[in-house]
Amino acid sequence: MQRIRLRYTKRGRLRFTSHRDFQRAFERALRRAEVPMAYSAGFTPHPKVSYANAAPTGTGSEAEYLEIALTEPRDPDGLRALLDESLPTGLDIVDAVEARTPGLADRLTGSVWELRLDGVEPEAARHAAAAFLAAESVEVSRQTKNGVRTFDARAAVAQLTTTGPGAPGTHGTPADGPGDRPCAILRLVVRHVTPAVRPDDVLSGLRAVADLAPPVPAAVTRLAQGLFDDETGTVTDPLAPDREAVVAAPVHASGTAEAAAAKAPTPEGPA
């Protein structure tokens, strides 16, 4: 059984699709692309698809991950192209690699988010970010299925920086919103902790410490997701170990063959 890991996006209006909506669309894409899926056992078999840490409904994302299990081997790049053609524009399969290492979910320990705040002056956003980072703790409340829960939003935030639209590295552009209004861009690096701290929790914290209240809902996009590096404060590509294993495998196999040939006895020629 071959396992393929995929990275996909949620762009434009498709950011409003729920995780369940994406699951249905993806399973239809698997059927259209005639992917030889492995199925679970039991009375109602399901295709073996593992989803990892999906973004909340209403947020865009450039870094969502899943893993599928196949009964027949397929080229990851060819499979990626077939699935991408079978999905609506906005739900795009942008990367694929054969799973050669365990624990994809264990590598998703941090996320990089971009929050576009239309109607907010960049200077006001910088002041609020500085107040948030200076606080020892920032308690926020969120409604859950078990009632209102209060927790610290500050501890999970590794970085919080501000800039304006159109700056290098920003995902949003001035064309995304009204051109005659101020706009601030927040870049947020968050560790995945329990309970999970989401971008809207950080916005609640900014309102609590600095009375920052955007006049319109923030446009939120996850730019990256992967293993959080405590030393650098960055998030690394979770598919990199699989790519490295694919590259190393042929070299290892060649080296093993050469070693075996060296150890083999040399046939004796005629006396």
> In the structure, what pLDDT confidence band is assigned to residue 27 with cuts at 50, 70 and 90?
very high
- CA 94 to CA 140: how far, in whole Å? 35
- CA 185 to CA 157: how far, in whole Å? 16
Q: State the burial class of residue 24 (Cβ atoms within 10 Å of its Cβ: 0-12, 13-18, 19+).
A: exposed
What pLDDT digit, counting tens, does each position of 105-136 carry? 999 999 999 999 999 999 999 999 999 999 99
What pLDDT digit, counting tens, does each position of 148-172 carry? 889 999 999 999 999 877 655 666 5
Return the pLDDT at 266. Answer: 47
Return the pLDDT at 227. Answer: 96
Judge whether residue 260 has pLDDT over 60. Answer: no
Judge whether residue 271 has pLDDT over 60. Answer: no
Q: What percent of the chain has pLDDT over 90?
A: 76
Six-digit token string for 80: 């990626």
Return the pLDDT at 186. Answer: 97
**Nearest to 79, CA basis, from 90, 67, 89, 64:** 67
Return the pLDDT at 153. Answer: 96
Q: What percent of the chain has pLDDT over 70?
A: 86
Tokens 């495998």 belong to which residue?
Answer: 249
Judge whether residue 267 has pLDDT over 80. Answer: no
Judge whether residue 80 has pLDDT over 60. Answer: yes
Its pTM stands at 0.84
Domains detected in the chain:
2-100 (3.30.70.580), 107-234 (3.30.70)
236: three-class secondary structure by DSSP: strand
> In the structure, what pLDDT confidence band is assigned to residue 181 with cuts at 50, 70 and 90?
confident
Judge whether residue 268 has pLDDT over 50. Answer: no
HSE-up of residue 243 (Cα within 13 Å, Cβ side): 8
> In the structure, what pLDDT confidence band is assigned to residue 39 with cuts at 50, 70 and 90?
very high
DSSP tag of 47: B
Judge whether residue 146 has pLDDT over 50. Answer: yes
β-pair partners for 60: 221
- How many residues in the chain? 271
**Nearest to 51, CA basis, from 13, 19, 75:** 19
Average model confidence (pLDDT) for the chain? 88
**Residue with the larger pLDDT of the pair 252 and 9:** 9
Identity of the residue numbered 123: E
**Nearest to 205, CA basis, from 159, 151, 162, 163:** 151
Q: State the Rg of the chain over Cα.
A: 23
> At 82, phi and psi to the nearest 5?
-65, -45
- CA 20 to CA 262: how far, in whole Å? 56
